[in-house]
Structure 1
Amino acid sequence: MKLETMYQEIILDHYRNPHGHGLRDPFDAEVHHVNPTCGDEVTLRVHLDGSGPDAKVVDVSYDAMGCSISQAATSVLNDLVVGRTVGESFDVLAEYQKMVQGRGKVEPDEDVLDDAVAFAGVAAYPARVKCALLGWFAFKDAVAQADDNAPELEEHQ
């Protein structure tokens, strides 16, 4: 199976069988983000245990409407951050952001990104980059809203 086909299958699987979908209680913060370019939307809740970079991401739940890329990327986000610390989660987000905004020039670190490497091809389509980042930036903003001691993450737009 070609790598590109496998990546498409991962995205479609997360789109059809989303992980973490459905807004759940308890939660510490809820944010709503809209991609003004295409109209994709996500409402995301985060539940943390603790404060600062060592706080544990207990749960990420969301409700999303939009393309397969934005919805699948949020599903993959759930898999990659729940159970990790905020600091570890932001490291994954930084690596993911670098990959999808790298215009195809960034070699993804599969050890860090796991299924998120499936979104490497998005970098070739600038209009889709915002779709791939929608849920991830909602997560970052929800963590910031939930915890005044959350680490800063620089956005490269």
Structure 2
Amino acid sequence: MRVGLGFDVHRFQEGRPLVLAGVAIPSPIGLLGHSDADVILHALMDALLGALALGDIGDHFPDTDEQYRGISSVQLLSRVMDLITARDYVVSNVDVMVMAEAPKLSPYKKEMIQKMAQTLQVSDDQVSLKATTMEGMGFVGRREGIAAQAMVSLVRCTENV
């Protein structure tokens, strides 16, 4: 078994769509980034890459490369999964914590879990997604951005998952 930890943060920006875990969330502001700035999937990709000591998303999808401008992080996650499966690993489970004062994510959690599970090629019960506020403290509490942490475990394909 291999374990990985990921973290990401993006600031809010007017005029950008808000995409979290591959799901478009109705919001007057989105997250600033070179790609779609999906903070949840970015943390998840870093956790997956870290589990196999493959670097981070900046190594694989640098923000200096125009081919990644505006790209869907679901597409990037699929590419990361190709790296994982090429090494004969599968996802055993995923645990994600997203920190956001707004918007409220509970109405979208089920769809977000389903989108992550589908892209990771696992069942919904292998993906945990939790959301919390920061009680008004720090940049998240001031509604300046969103942060996410992810932990994953991977097992060799030959093992029972």
TM-score (norm 2): 0.31
Indicate the structure whose relative CO is greater, using CA pairs within 8 Å and at least 6 residues apart.
2
More strand by share: 2
